[in-house]
């Protein structure tokens, strides 16, 4: 099945010219496919729906399944949270007992406890990083950028695999207990999403044995994405115990295409997770099994007046400071990531990097505890740090405690809790901690191991917020340092991550401090405003670095001045509604598109068919000898979702020579009424339709109902990318593609010359 060389070359050239080095390339784009969130309204699907929906038993059963799956997602995600929390704290505890013994053994020397901590941290982080690098690369980092993208409508490869779930949950335990400047909250969001995907699909690509046919109804992009929304919310509920914040996170990230019923389900999922977490954590910790015993993660117990009007300007200033510090953090991390990308070509380098960072973190942490212990009387500290260096003094006098060690060597969660709650902190302790932890978080973010940014941000912000509060105390009356610590934490997290409402609610829920809601909100808003002036949020930066075509929430002003036809791909490759087998096969081999418009004999747009559907039709040999329609569709609906989420590639399909001239009637399978847009519509309108409906392909139609182009996520993303680079004029030039001579242009209809010729050659 060789093509004549010249047409093949021509075709390649055509394809090449569609690309622009600045922009997404085809191969990148095909690795990051969009979700098929829109329903396929094909006659086959609709008649099946009609049949099923007539049975009220079916509808009831579907509903029951929906809620059972949602419940399970919440429950199991929270169990992951309980497990991770328990094991992490246990490892840290024994690690510190070891170090305590070394300290006692050497009677307060530096080197022995240091060696113990250094080696144990390097081992823990080394295993975690190795797991990620050689077993499941998608398990690295926090996973929030990937979940954001998924909710935004993009399939990022591998992120929802069982294998990734395993690595992420084991890895995050090792990384956090390995003393790195990171937390488990981000990974928990990812874990929740993976649990949701796994349970709702009832099967695993990693372990083929796991395959229950109970939930086959949910094996499609639409339902899977909806469950993942719930899972992400459950992840936050299972990490922070913040179900409302979790629901809002999913809503904030996924609200471009959303519906009200989904809010309700997501909320239920998060409530189940929150309830399970509280109950089991209290059981594990206090053997009391009472959900109320577990106070919110970072509960602020202080009950004095929280703030007064004269403090508000300082909150605003702290918000601005958070915006600036966050922007610097983001910019530095961006440069670091770019540097990493250039030098870390081999996995072993990435692994060594993780080890080195673990070593640096351990060395700096320990040295600071030794050199600037910040000894305070034990009575002034909260009881939350009882697993840290309390009993042995650690370079402090009797009855004193090394507060620096409590901050640096315990878990990040405990540091935040102590920053929010402890009565005394020396200023220099806070200053040193804030600066060093800022730098450590900076280098940790982006290593090849599961690691979350939320807790480090709270710790850094909490430290400088509290410091500012302490500085203000002599000047102003009634300064509440706990409030200032919380405000600082909000400002820095807001300045880096830029989540707004969800973050605000998460902080309120986790601190149990509704009274401080208004200061948090004000600070967050200022931090976001200031930060947005300089640079994007950290998650968006990582998404950009990974070249994932995330679409923004809203259209820009410039979009009202550009038309659909100026950004669309105008080399449309279409099929007839009854099409020759060979032509379909050739087109699938020669192009990488995922959707093909279908036209009738008189060239009127008829509908849209997906690549995966076409491959299935070829694979199942749904061939007929004449063009006349068959009474019954030749392929059953279930065949199309059989291999979901993967679909067989075209290379797996073999066409026999005697089949080449046969036909496939595409009409029963295609989406006959996709949303379409007029070629003259503004890009703003295109954007709204595309985003709000969660589309993957948007056919562009002219006045006479002829298809003249296709718009995909890539076109909109490239438009936004170019605008960001002030290259708007280039977007316009694209329409006059230099290879227009390759394309036969007849009255609003495009045909790809190469393909139709080669098809003719072969079929002749």
Contacts (CB under 8 A) with a second copy, residues 365-404: none
Of residues 294 and 613, the one with the C-beta less far from a second copy: 294
158 contacts a second copy (rule: CB under 8 A): no
Partner residues linked to 598 by β-bridges: 575, 607
Candidates 26-34, 272-280, 326-334, 658-666: pick the segment binding a second copy (CB under 8 A): 272-280
Of residues 262 and 325, the one with the C-beta less far from a second copy: 262
In three-state secondary structure terms, 274 is helix
CA nearest neighbour of 425 among 442, 403, 408: 403
Of residues 311 and 585, the one with the C-beta less far from a second copy: 311
Helices (H), 620-693: 637-641, 683-692
The nearest distance, CB 277 to a second copy, in angstroms, is 10
For residue 695, is the peptide bond before it cis, meaning its omega torsion is within 30 degrees of 0?
A: no
293 contacts a second copy (rule: CB under 8 A): yes
How distant, in Å, are the alpha carbons of 457, 598, 674, 755 from that of 653? 51, 22, 28, 19
CA nearest neighbour of 452 among 144, 139, 241: 144
Compute, in degrees rounded to 10, the torsion defined by CA atoms 699, 700, 704, 707.
Answer: -60
CA distance 578 to 112: 78
Please tell me the count of residues contacting a second copy according to CB under 8 A.
85
Of residues 53 and 471, the one with the C-beta less far from a second copy: 53
Contact 330, 541 (CB under 8 A): yes
CA distance 378 to 763: 87
Task: Rule CB under 8 A: choose which of 286, 380, 638, 692 binds a second copy.
Answer: 692
Partner residues linked to 712 by β-bridges: 697
Candidates 77-85, 109-117, 326-334, 703-711: pick the segment binding a second copy (CB under 8 A): 703-711
Of residues 292 and 631, the one with the C-beta less far from a second copy: 292
701 contacts a second copy (rule: CB under 8 A): yes
65 contacts a second copy (rule: CB under 8 A): no
CB atoms within 10 A of CB 569: 17
287 contacts a second copy (rule: CB under 8 A): no
How distant, in Å, are the alpha carbons of 274, 510, 663, 667 from that of 169? 18, 22, 50, 46
Contacts (CB under 8 A) with a second copy, residues 174-203: none
CA distance 748 to 704: 8
H or E element at residue 375 = strand 375-377
Of residues 40 and 434, the one with the C-beta less far from a second copy: 40
Candidates 251-259, 402-410, 655-663, 746-754: pick the segment binding a second copy (CB under 8 A): 251-259
Contact 404, 364 (CB under 8 A): no
The nearest distance, CB 250 to a second copy, in angstroms, is 12
297 contacts a second copy (rule: CB under 8 A): no
CA distance 466 to 672: 61
The nearest distance, CB 75 to a second copy, in angstroms, is 14
The nearest distance, CB 294 to a second copy, in angstroms, is 10
515 contacts a second copy (rule: CB under 8 A): yes
CA distance 276 to 74: 8
- Per residue, the 3-state secondary structure of 526-582, as one string, reads HHHHHHHHHCCCHHHHHHHHCCCCCCCCCCCHHHHHCEHHHHCECCCCCEECEEEHH
Contact 188, 235 (CB under 8 A): yes
CB atoms within 10 A of CB 494: 31
Contacts (CB under 8 A) with a second copy, residues 225-244: 243-244
CA distance 733 to 712: 18
Contacts (CB under 8 A) with a second copy, residues 431-490: none
Candidates 146-154, 489-497, 520-528, 588-596: pick the segment binding a second copy (CB under 8 A): 520-528
574 contacts a second copy (rule: CB under 8 A): no
Task: Rule CB under 8 A: choose which of 28, 41, 158, 742 binds a second copy.
Answer: 41
689 contacts a second copy (rule: CB under 8 A): yes
CA distance 585 to 407: 63
Of residues 450 and 519, the one with the C-beta less far from a second copy: 519
The radius of gyration of the chain from alpha carbons, rounded to an integer in Å, stands at: 29
544 contacts a second copy (rule: CB under 8 A): no
Contacts (CB under 8 A) with a second copy, residues 644-683: 672-673, 675-678, 680-682
Task: Rule CB under 8 A: choose which of 106, 423, 560, 744 binds a second copy.
Answer: 560
Task: Rule CB under 8 A: choose which of 5, 21, 27, 50 binds a second copy.
Answer: 50
Of residues 92 and 486, the one with the C-beta less far from a second copy: 486
Task: Rule CB under 8 A: choose which of 202, 359, 517, 748 binds a second copy.
Answer: 517
Rounded to a whole number of angstroms, the distance between the first and last alpha carbons of the chain is 13
Q: Beta strand 677-678 with 697-701: parallel, antiparallel or unpaired? A: parallel
Contact 668, 43 (CB under 8 A): yes
Candidates 77-85, 191-199, 498-506, 652-660: pick the segment binding a second copy (CB under 8 A): 498-506
566 contacts a second copy (rule: CB under 8 A): no
Binding mask 601-620 for a second copy (x = CB under 8 A): ---xxx--------------
The nearest distance, CB 399 to a second copy, in angstroms, is 30
Of residues 554 and 661, the one with the C-beta less far from a second copy: 554
The nearest distance, CB 595 to a second copy, in angstroms, is 17
The nearest distance, CB 602 to a second copy, in angstroms, is 9
Task: Rule CB under 8 A: choose which of 343, 371, 476, 705 binds a second copy.
Answer: 705
Phi first, then psi: give them for residue 237, nearest 5 degrees.
-65, -35
Of residues 246 and 374, the one with the C-beta less far from a second copy: 246
CA distance 502 to 147: 15
Cβ contacts of 218 within 8 Å, gap of 6 or more = 65, 69, 200, 201, 202, 224, 227
522 contacts a second copy (rule: CB under 8 A): yes
- ∠ CA 445-450-452, rounded to 5°: 55
Of residues 418 and 523, the one with the C-beta less far from a second copy: 523
114 contacts a second copy (rule: CB under 8 A): no
CA distance 708 to 603: 11
Candidates 194-202, 551-559, 611-619, 741-749: pick the segment binding a second copy (CB under 8 A): 551-559
Task: Rule CB under 8 A: choose which of 292, 631, 651, 658 binds a second copy.
Answer: 292
Candidates 118-126, 143-151, 269-277, 464-472: pick the segment binding a second copy (CB under 8 A): 269-277
The nearest distance, CB 267 to a second copy, in angstroms, is 5
């Amino acid at each position: 099945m060789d093509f004549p060389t010249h047409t093949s070359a021509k075709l390649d050239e055509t394809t090449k010219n569609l690309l622009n080095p600045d922009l997404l390339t085809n191969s990148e784009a095909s690795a990051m496919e969009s979700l098929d969130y829109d329903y396929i309204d094909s006659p086959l699907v609709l008649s099946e729906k009609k049949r099923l929906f007539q049975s009220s038993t079916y509808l009831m059963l579907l509903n029951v399944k929906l809620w059972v799956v949602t419940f399970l997602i919440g429950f199991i995600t929270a169990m992951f949270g309980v497990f991770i929390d328990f094991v992490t704290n246990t490892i840290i505890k024994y690690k510190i007992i070891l170090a305590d013994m070394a300290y006692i053994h050497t009677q307060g020397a530096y080197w022995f406890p240091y060696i113990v901590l250094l080696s144990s941290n390097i081992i823990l982080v080394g295993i975690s990083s190795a797991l990620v690098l050689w077993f499941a690369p998608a398990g690295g980092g926090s996973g929030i950028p990937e979940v954001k993208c998924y909710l935004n409508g993009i399939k990022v490869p591998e992120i929802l695999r069982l294998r990734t779930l395993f690595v992420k949950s084991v890895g995050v335990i090792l990384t956090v207990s390995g003393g790195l400047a990171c937390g488990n909250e981000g990974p928990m969001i990812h874990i929740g999403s993976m649990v949701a995907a796994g349970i709702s699909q009832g099967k695993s690509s990693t372990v083929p044995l796991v395959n229950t046919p109970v939930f086959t109804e949910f094996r499609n992009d639409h339902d899977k994405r909806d469950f993942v929304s719930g899972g992400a919310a459950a992840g936050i509920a299972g990490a922070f115990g913040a179900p409302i914040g979790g629901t809002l996170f999913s809503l904030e990230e996924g609200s471009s295409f959303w519906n009200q019923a989904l809010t309700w389900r997501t909320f239920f999922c998060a409530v189940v997770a929150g309830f399970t977490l509280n109950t089991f954590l209290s059981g594990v910790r206090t053997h009391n099994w009472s959900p109320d015993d577990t106070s919110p993660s970072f509960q602020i117990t202080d009950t004095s007046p929280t703030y007064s009007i004269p403090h508000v300007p300082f909150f605003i200033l702290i918000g601005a400071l958070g915006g600036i510090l966050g922007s610097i953090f983001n910019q530095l991390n961006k440069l670091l990531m770019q540097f990493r990308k250039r030098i870390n070509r081999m996995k072993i380098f990435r692994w060594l990097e993780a080890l080195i960072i673990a070593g640096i973190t351990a060395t700096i942490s320990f040295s600071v505890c030794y050199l600037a212990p910040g000894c305070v009387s034990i009575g002034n500290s909260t009881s939350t740090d009882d697993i840290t260096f309390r009993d042995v003094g650690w370079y402090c006098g009797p009855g004193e405690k090394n507060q620096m060690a409590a901050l640096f060597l315990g878990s990040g969660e405990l540091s935040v809790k102590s920053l929010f709650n402890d009565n005394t902190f020396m200023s220099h302790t806070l200053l040193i901690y804030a600066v060093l932890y800022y730098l450590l978080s900076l280098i940790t973010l982006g290593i090849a191991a599961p690691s979350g940014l939320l807790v480090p941000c709270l710790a850094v912000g909490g430290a400088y917020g509290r410091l500012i509060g302490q500085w203000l105390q002599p000047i102003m009356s009634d300064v509440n340092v706990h409030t200032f610590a919380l405000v600082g934490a909000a400002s820095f997290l807001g300045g880096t991550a830029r989540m707004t409402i969800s973050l605000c609610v998460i902080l309120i829920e986790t601190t149990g401090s509704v009274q401080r809601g208004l200061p948090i909100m004000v600070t967050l808003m200022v931090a976001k405003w200031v930060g947005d002036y300089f640079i994007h949020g950290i998650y968006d930066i990582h998404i950009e670095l990974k070249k994932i075509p995330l679409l923004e929430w809203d259209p820009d002003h410039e979009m009202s001045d550009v038309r659909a036809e100026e950004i669309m791909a105008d080399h449309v490759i279409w099929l007839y509604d009854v099409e020759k087998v060979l032509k379909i096969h050739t087109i699938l081999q020669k192009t990488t598109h995922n959707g093909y418009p279908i036209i009738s004999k008189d060239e009127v747009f008829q509908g849209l068919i997906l690549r995966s559907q076409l491959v299935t039709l070829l694979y199942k040999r749904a061939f007929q000898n004449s063009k006349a329609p068959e009474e019954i569709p030749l392929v059953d609906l279930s065949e199309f979702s059989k291999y979901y989420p993967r679909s067989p590639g075209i290379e797996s399909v073999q066409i026999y020579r005697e089949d080449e001239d046969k036909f496939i009637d595409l009409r029963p399978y295609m989406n006959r009424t996709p949303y379409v847009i007029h070629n003259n519509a503004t890009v703003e309108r295109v954007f709204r339709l595309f985003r709000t409906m969660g589309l993957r392909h948007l056919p562009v139609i002219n006045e006479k109902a002829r298809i003249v182009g296709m718009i995909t996520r890539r076109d909109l993303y490239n438009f936004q990318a170019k605008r960001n680079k002030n290259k708007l004029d280039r977007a316009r030039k694209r329409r006059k593609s230099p290879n227009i001579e390759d394309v036969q242009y007849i009255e609003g209809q495009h045909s790809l010359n190469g393909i139709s010729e080669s098809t003719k050659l072969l079929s002749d």
